[in-house]
Each structure stands twice: as C-alpha cells, then as structure tokens.
Structure 1
C-alpha cells in the first residue's frame, strides 16, 4: 500500500535500535541499559499511582516533576521541558531550533545516529564535522569564523558511541562563538563521570541540555526525558509539544520519574557501582588485547588489535551475549559494550577469552 504513503515516507531511513533478542540466558550488553534496577521509591510511587485516577488526564504542564527537576539543578520550573523519552525531546528540538532559512545544523560525523535520522525526517540541512583521529571533538572546527552561521549545533557529551567527554570550558567556548545558534548538548550518559553543562545555563542563553532517565535512573522502560535551558528556549519547545501532543507523560510516568529524581542516594550508589565496574572492565579488555577509548559513560568502545569486530560480535551472540557493532565508516572495527554488573562483566570476559582463542 505504498501508493497511500505521504510523499516523503519512502525516502526515510529509520533509526535502528539495538537488537532485542529472545535468547535463553541472554546477557544484553548492546543497548546501554543500567544493570541495577530503578529506585525502590520510584517503583513504590508508580504502584501508588495505579488508582481510579487513571481515568483522568495527567497534568499537561507536569508541574510537580518540572519543579523536582528544577530543584536538582537549582533552576526554575520554566527552565525545564519534559518529553516521552529524550528522543522525543530531541525531535522537538530539531523542529523548534534547526529549521532556519536553510542554515545548516552542525554535528560530529561519529555520534548518536538518531541525529541524522531527524535531519532526514525534518529535512534539516546539516554539516558533518569529522572527529579527530582519536575520536575527540576538535574545538577549533566549532569556534572558527564561518561564512554561514549554523542554524544550531548538537553533540552528545559524553559522545555516543565513543564515550569521550568534553569539559565545560570547551562547551562554553562553542556556545560563545555562535550566540545566534542554539547549542544543544545531549547528556544521556553524563552522570557516569562527566560534568553537566547545566552549570553553564545562567550565563549561556543559547545553550540547551538534554537528559534522559533511561540510563543513570534505570528507567529505560518508562520513557521520560527532559531539557534544561532558558525560559525563552523552553517556550519554543512547548509551542511544538502543544501542537503535537499535550500529554506526552502519563500519571504513572510522572510519579515514578519524580520519585527517581528525588532519590539522590540510590542514584549516587548505582552510578558509582557502574563506574567501578567500567574501570575493571577496561582493565580486563586491555588484558585481552583490546584498545579501549577513554569512557565517561556506562559503556566502553573497544577495538581488538588482531580480530575483526563483526566476527567477535557474532561469536559472542552464539554464546548468548549481545554487544553493539556498527557497520559504519571509521568505527566498523569497534564494539560498543554496555557495562554490566561485575558478574556480568566477568561472564563477558571469560567468554571473550574463549572466543579470541579460536
């Protein structure tokens, strides 16, 4: 029935998520889910929300959750925008800020692949800026004078899939170089060792920071994300959201997300456990002959010095372990491996010893 599609649908290349396999005794290290469960307080709050009140619409302004997020970052509620996962927030960002008279969006050539998907979907002109040979972002490429100012700039920090992170001075310099462009920092993994650019918002009106509760808050199944920015930028997102879906978050999601944000002790303990496991995993992988990029995320990006990445990934899958392999230029010999519990990482490394010896 493709003849009934809208004109632009056939030309889309949808984003492909990590494999969700049905394998006995599966060890899933391919989608960067947190190995530790959500805050028990969040689970309790969600259970308490399952009442007769579900017949009523949720608060379309989500004031309680916006205020909870604002308190955590010492902002005001009008500096917080909520969406159905950070991917929806990012979709609204592309729609609200990157369609400006044909000016291009600037983004790294190796980064979260959904950005290119959104560029195609919203027909956003864009310029891919190559990362350095060590996969770090070359700041001069983003601060140098250009004949045409970008409509906006977007990058993940820490970057995905590399795990490399920028310091706040660098982010501030990029934003200062382009005061007429929205600079969007996607911080899905920031809580695992990097610094949040939320600290720059007071002095940087063109900066926006996007977070998700899927990673450090262990709520990938709940679908909650948010953006932090000046009230003026947030108003732009609200105009898009309320022209699309006034109720992106249900009552259960609002309750669970607020409790998770407010349970700082659980958040800190589980993040610390992931960071410790990551450092041990890096040492183990290096001992097995992998070159591992410096990571400040809940995953590592690794290349074996003498074995093909695609073959390693396939053999691991045969043993019930999923890792992410990207068949893309520059990174086809790398594997992105989610950090699991110490026991899960040990299983991975024991299996790799067998796989690499054959």
Structure 2
C-alpha cells in the first residue's frame, strides 16, 4: 500500500468479485450474471443520436428512467431513485442512514458488501446468525434497535423471507430504516415495493444486472418514501451528481418496458435451474432450494474447494467461499441449458475420476441429458 493512504484504510480489505481470468474460454457461472443478451428493445435504444450526444452530461435526475420504473411499480416518480448500480445506492444508504443511528444489522451469511461497507465507512454493525438450514429468523430482526439490511432472497443461500415477515420487521422498527435488497426478486418472488406506502421506514433496492440482463450497463434503483428518496439525492449530489450515464439511462428504460422479454429469460433460467438442481440431487449433493438465478450446494465425494478447483481446470468458473459456515458449499449461477449440460458432464467427469481413487463402489451417475429428455 502507498505511504499516503489513511491509517483507517490500511488494514481494510475490499469486496472480492467473482474471478474473470482471460487465459482461456470459460463457462463463467460465478457472478450471477444473466446468460442471455439484453432485450432487442435495448439494442434498438442504442441509436446514433444517443451516441452523438455523449459530449453532453447526462440528466442528473435520470428523469425518464425514474418515470419508467415508477410506472412499472405503480408508484410516484419522486419515490424512485436510480444510480450506477445497486452497490452505489447501498453505499449511499449506509452513509446517510447508518451513522449515529445504531448502524446496521444483517445476516452472518449474506452479500459480503454489507460488512465491507460497514467496515470501510466506520459504521457499527451486527451480524445475526442464520438458522442451521441457512434461513433467516425474522424474530431476530424485530425491535432490534438498529437499521436492518436483508437481501431477499438472500445470497448465497437463495432462500427467501415471506412478505408477512418483512411487514413485522418494518412495523417493529419504526425508528430505524429497513432496507430490503431485492437483486433476485424477479425469479419467482413477490416484491416488497407495494409496502412502501404502508411503512415509511422501508426502502427497497433492486438492480438491472440480473433479470434485465444489463450487468454491464450498471443500473440500480431504490423505491421508498419521497423523503427517503430525497435524502438519497442529497447524498448523490455530494458525490457524483450525474453518475449514471445517458446511454445506461436509455437502455434501462427500454429494458423495463420490455416486460415480455424479461419474463421469457427468467422462465428459461428457472426451468434450467430446477433441472440442474434435480441432477445435483441425483448425484447425492445437498442442494438448497433456490428462489434466485443460482444454486447453493454441498458436494459429496470431494470437498467444495476441490470441486471448485477441478471445475476451473475443466473451464468452468463457480464461486467458492473460504469463510465460516459455508466453506463446504459452492454457489453456481445458472447459465443456458446447453452450458449447464456441459457443466453437469464436467462434474460427472470429476466425480468419476475421484471415485476411481476410492475403495468403495460407487454406482454410475445418471446423465443430465437423460434428465432433460425425461422432462
């Protein structure tokens, strides 16, 4: 580190993104990206006129984008805030609402950025253990005495809280903010956005990186009371007033409006997810139910770390977490049907290779292709 770095940051470690090596062609299923391209409407929105106006600053209020999101969720435009990715909005929220208000509490196994932000910003935080099955106990967050931050569905577990639980958490923490991170809400779940007019302490954050296939465009948004949104605009004005560029704003509008395409992509991912989950269960893996675009599973025969390494050698990137409670698990994003067929074949190859070195007799693994054809 450089000699001028503030002492506050000298012992800090940032968030670790999913690796993206360039030494070969990989099936990259370690970052929960969509395997499908953006909507055709998004491609049409990228016009010559839009590109030729890049000499001008973008609309700092993202007016058209916030109106489009508001129309989709049946809320007022002043209840919507957009910026360059949901992580930026999370950072604004933690700085704006976390100082001097008890900080935040969040699960001990969740999106690691919550803890990273808390540490970097010098905020109080409390990690609440998930239950043994990795589910969230809503009672742990009721009347907790600080702000609440929950990913719903949670990551990397893929499990969700019911809306009734979210209501209880919001109702019992009226003096504190309750942030629900809905990055994966579109994969068969119910959004908490309709609750914002009932609970003014509820703030919902979403991203266009997953279900709307726009990870590269960096678009996130928040929905909450008009006052909470105004506070976020104040934070944005102090950091980067026009941070979401005009191209991303236009692409985001097109993606939100093309509801049919989003549903088509989400449906394909859910169908493939369930086929892959069934295939992993057939192989004796412990696989959690998923409400997201990924699976969280515990392999057998070999360790999670060994499977992660072996898959990388086979040209497949998955996510392994060397951290307490989940070091025996792997998180695997769902790719296309063809990609996942290849991945299961690679897993079979690795498992059979491992079995040859063991003295116990292991029956042949059912093929993923057979499972697809059976369905």
Structure 2 residue 253 is matched with structure 1 residue 258: yes
RMSD: 1.2
Q: Paired residue for 1:316?
A: 311
Query: Any residues of structure 2 matched to 1:211-230 within 5 Å, and which?
Result: 211-230=206-225
Kindly provide the CA deviation profile for residues 198-225 of structure 1, in whole angstroms up to 9, marking residues without a partner as x: 1211211100000000000010000000
Distance 1:259 1:238 in 2: 23
| Residues 323 and 336 in structure 1, CA contact (< 8 A), matched pair in contact too | yes
Q: Secondary structure at the match of 1:238?
A: helix
| Residues 301 and 351 in structure 2, CA contact (< 8 A), matched pair in contact too | no
Q: 2:347 aligns with which of 347, 352, 357?
A: 352
Kindly provide the CA deviation profile for residues 229-251 of structure 1, in whole angstroms up to 9, marking residues without a partner as x: 00011111111100111001111
Unpaired segments of 5 or more residues in structure 1? Answer: none
| Residues 51 and 247 in structure 2, CA contact (< 8 A), matched pair in contact too | no
Query: Any residues of structure 2 matched to 1:118-157 within 5 Å, and which?
Result: 118-143=117-142, 145-146=143-144, 149-150=145-146, 152-157=147-152
TM-score, normalization: structure 1?
0.96
Q: Secondary structure at the match of 1:259?
A: helix
Q: Secondary structure at the match of 1:277?
A: helix
Q: Paired residue for 1:79?
A: 79
Query: Any residues of structure 2 matched to 1:6-155 within 5 Å, and which?
Result: 6-101=6-101, 103-143=102-142, 145-146=143-144, 149-150=145-146, 152-155=147-150
Q: Paired residue for 2:275?
A: 280
Change in 2 beyond 3 A, CA 1:352/1:51: closer
| Residues 109 and 128 in structure 1, CA contact (< 8 A), matched pair in contact too | yes
Q: Secondary structure at the match of 1:354?
A: helix
Deviation at 1:8, TM superposition (A): 1.7
Q: Secondary structure at the match of 1:141?
A: helix
Q: Paired residue for 2:335?
A: 340
Kindly provide the CA deviation profile for residues 110-134 of structure 1, in whole angstroms up to 9, marking residues without a partner as x: 0000111100111110111000000
Deviation at 1:48, TM superposition (A): 4.1
Distance 2:166 2:149 in 1: 11
Deviation at 1:22, TM superposition (A): 1.4
Q: Paired residue for 1:185?
A: 180
Q: Secondary structure at the match of 1:4?
A: coil
Q: Secondary structure at the match of 2:341?
A: helix
Change in 2 beyond 3 A, CA 1:340/1:49: farther
Q: 2:291 aligns with which of 272, 275, 296?
A: 296
Deviation at 1:347, TM superposition (A): 0.5
Kindly provide the CA deviation profile for residues 312-345 of structure 1, in whole angstroms up to 9, marking residues without a partner as x: 0000000000000000100000000000111111
Distance 1:255 1:279 in 2: 34
Deviation at 1:49, TM superposition (A): 4.9
Distance 1:276 1:94 in 2: 36
Deviation at 1:56, TM superposition (A): 1.3
Distance 1:11 1:315 in 2: 32
Distance 1:99 1:289 in 2: 47
Distance 2:327 2:52 in 1: 51
| Residues 49 and 252 in structure 1, CA contact (< 8 A), matched pair in contact too | no
Deviation at 1:96, TM superposition (A): 1.0
